Amino acid sequence: MVKQELSGKVCIVTGAGRGIGKAIALSLAEAGGYIICVSKSEESCSAVAQDIQIRGYSAEHIAVDVSSLEAVSVACKSILGKHSTVDILINNAGITRDNLMLRMSQQEWQEVLNTNLNSCFYWTKNLLHPMIKKRWGRIINMASIVGLVGNFGQANYAAAKAGIIGFTKSIAREVASRGITANAVAPGFIQTDMTSKLGENIVAELLKNIPMKELGMPNDVAETVKFLCSQGARYITGHVINVDGGMAM
Ligand code: NAP
């Protein structure tokens, strides 16, 4: 990719405070994008925005609970008031609340659906119109291979991630003729805080099912997202790209 390919593009990255979102924010900033870092805590998104600025790129931050339609709408109003448009939306924020189906509480179900899936609807609903007006946009939603194949103890998470895939394909069809692409990225197991909770035995078991025999790094996902934002990906829409070391091939 040409280094400044995203120059002048306003990019929102949710869940930018840590892990995959942080890597995406840094990578899009290096490509010239103006990054609006969103996370739940002020502390994490402000630290990443500052990190980007220290490296000589452009960023700001805003703490938003993405599971709340009201909070997302207020944030979008403020962002659009300042920038008048958003070119690139990366719906990456996500959580897990794992439990076996027999033990899963309604709260565990609801929290995961609200944070991982409903948030995609909230941000897209608020930002699609300016993209349509501009006749250019990139929407990238973070799914998971778990949304494709399911996982023990993750009925809530798998449902949210499978929902993201259906949502992405549907909006891709609706806005394809307006210069907007919508794709999903489905990571396998990536080394972040989310997976650091897994015990050594579970990781050893997981590795048996990964043909590349290693966990992925946040940057592996970020590079894929950066490509999907680029001009080189202008004819790719409605797809799910797995970044999983061959796990779900
Ligand atoms: P992570 O390290 O746990 O970071 C999650 C980020 O999401 C944090 O910045 C967090 O904000 C933010 N977040 C969580 N709930 C939020 C809320 N209600 N409002 C706003 N922000 C919120 O996770 P990760 O591993 O980087 O995962 C990123 C995405 O990739 C998720 O959608 C995840 O499901 C997906 N994914 C990850 C893996 C993996 O192996 N790691 C695999 C497949 C898919 P704070 O910093 O303020 O806490």
Q: Which of 76, 161, 179, 180 has the alpha carbon at shortest distance from 122?
A: 76
Question: pLDDT tens for residues 19-60?
Answer: 999 999 999 999 999 999 999 999 999 999 999 999 999 999
**Relative to the CA of 116, which ligand 1 atom is closest?**
32
Q: Domain spans of the chain?
A: 10-243
What is d(CA 45, CA 14) in angstroms, rounded to the nearest whole number? 9
Active site residues: 157
Question: pLDDT tens for residues 140-168?
Answer: 999 999 999 999 999 999 999 999 999 99
> Which residues are near ligand 1 (CB < 6 Å)?
14-15, 17-21, 39-41, 44, 64-67, 92-95, 115-116, 142, 144, 187, 189-190, 192-195
| Neighbour tally for 210: CB within 10 Å | 17
- pLDDT of the residue at 95: 98
Question: pLDDT tens for residues 180-198?
Answer: 999 999 999 999 999 998 8
Residue 179, classified by CB atoms within 10 Å of its CB into exposed (0-12), middle (13-18) or buried (19+), is: middle
| Neighbour tally for 70: CB within 10 Å | 9
- pLDDT of the residue at 3: 54
Please tell me the distance between residue 161's alpha carbon and the centre of ligand 1 in angstroms: 13
Architecture of domain 10-243: 3-Layer(aba) Sandwich (3.40)
Q: Whose CA is nearest to atom 46 of ligand 1?
A: 17
What is d(CA 179, CA 136) in angstroms, rounded to the nearest whole number? 5
Spell out the residues 6+ positions from residue 205 whose beta carbon is closer than 8 angstroms to its own: none
Model confidence, pTM: 0.98
Question: pLDDT tens for residues 86-110?
Answer: 999 999 999 999 999 999 999 999 9
